Amino acid sequence: MIKNITLSAIAAASLALGFTGAAQAAGDAGHIEDVDFSFEGPFGSFDQLQLQRGLQVFTESCAACHGMKFVPIRTLSDKNGPGMPEDQVRAYAAIFPILDETANLHLIDIEKNEYRPLTQADNFPANNTANAPDLSLMAKARAGFHGPQGTGINQILKGMGGPEYIYSILTGYTGKEKVEAGTTFYENTAFPGGWIAMAPPLFDGQFEFADGHSSDPHHVAEDISAFLMWTAEPTMMARKKAGLVGVIFLSLFTFLLYLTNKKLWAPHKGKKLSA
């Protein structure tokens, strides 16, 4: 259900969803909001419409500066992912041009190399033009929750908090700015040190979603955070299912062992051993 995704929209995106940028002073980790995502918990699952909205946000804003080189485009049709029809996946892949390194290897002038559209067999393109991090594993690489003195207690209770970190960065701007060494920094309550070089990437009315969902920056931040969680762990649902089956099997096996133990030792209980 991706709507109005065009190459021009990507090229026009001037604000990047960056998560690096020099922090200007050492300090404690920023404040991370605890967001109730649908995929959390042992029985949680990804919301397909939310993942599709997150894909649109990535395409129209983030892809201008960030890549996702570890994510195969074909996975957009996965039923535990965005679940897009095959024809939509093919059409989506075609909007990304990529340098065809095999097309003109006989040419000396590198400027004459040809570009071709991506196909389902390709991964999302890398994007190193803005010195921005790749977003493929961002939700797994960033830990949002920390325990006292690094004990990790909060991570045991709340999880790693990677998508919460992304959400908090996107919604943590206070509106204050400062310029140092010719670079503008923006105050952000979630970023370590409190100041980030990335300008606020989200604003009201920025996106129009085909499902009519709100484009409020907080809702959009949830959508892109959920999508980046899926890119970092696309097999989460299969892992949860396997874990649940394992727990059920081990519980049943333990119960059967308990009954077997009782049956084997029942004739001998209460008997006194002869001297």
Max distance between CA atoms of the chain, in angstroms, equals 99
pLDDT value of residue 110: 44
Distances in whole angstroms, Cα of residue 204 to Cα of each of 34, 52, 56, 201, 218: 22, 19, 16, 11, 9
As averages over each run of 10 residues, the pLDDT of the chain (275 residues) reads 43 38 47 91 92 96 90 94 94 79 43 70 83 90 76 72 94 94 92 90 91 93 97 91 90 92 80 59
CA distance 104 to 101: 7
Identity at 98, one-letter amino acid code:
I
Residue labelled with tokens 């009201």? 204
Which tokens belong to 69? 């080189």
pTM above 0.85, yes or no: no
| CATH superfamily of the 7-20+36-144+166-172+203-234 domain | Cytochrome c-like domain (1.10.760.10)
Which of 171, 211, 203, 170 is closest to 82 using CA atoms?
211
**Helices of type H across the chain:** 7-12, 48-60, 86-93, 138-141, 153-158, 162-171, 217-232, 236-265
pLDDT of residue 272: 64
Burial environment of residue 262 by CB neighbours within 10 A (0 to 12, 13 to 18, 19 or more): exposed
Residue found under tokens 């983030």: 62
- For residue 99, what pLDDT is reported? 61
Please name the amino acid found at residue 102: T
